[in-house]
Amino acid sequence: MNRKSDVATIFPSFLKQMETQFDTHVKIFQSDGGGEFVNQSLQNLFKTNGIILRISCLGTPEQNGLAERRHRHIVETGLTLLSHASILIKFWTAAFRTAVFLINRLPTSVLGYKSPHEVVFGSAPTYDSLRVFGCSCYPMFAPFG
pLDDT for 101 = 95
Number of Cβ within a 10 Å radius of residue 82: 22
Q: Which of 6-15, 100-109, 123-132 has the highest mean pLDDT?
A: 100-109
- Residue 10, classified by CB atoms within 10 Å of its CB into exposed (0-12), middle (13-18) or buried (19+), is exposed
**In whole angstroms, what is the distance from residue 13 CA to residue 86 CA?**
38
Residues composing the chain: 145
- pTM of the predicted model, to two decimals? 0.72
pLDDT for 140 = 55
Furthest-apart CA atoms within the chain: distance in Å: 51
Helix H or strand E encompassing 132: none
Q: Residue 34 to residues 11, 50, 87: CA-CA distances in angstroms?
A: 15, 21, 33
List 30's β-bridge partners, or say none: 54
Structure confidence at residue 114 as a pLDDT band (50, 70, 90): very high
The stretch 97-122 carries a mean pLDDT of 93
pLDDT for 89 = 93
List 108's β-bridge partners, or say none: 114
Give the three-class secondary structure for 107: coil
**In whole angstroms, what is the distance from residue 116 CA to residue 122 CA?**
10
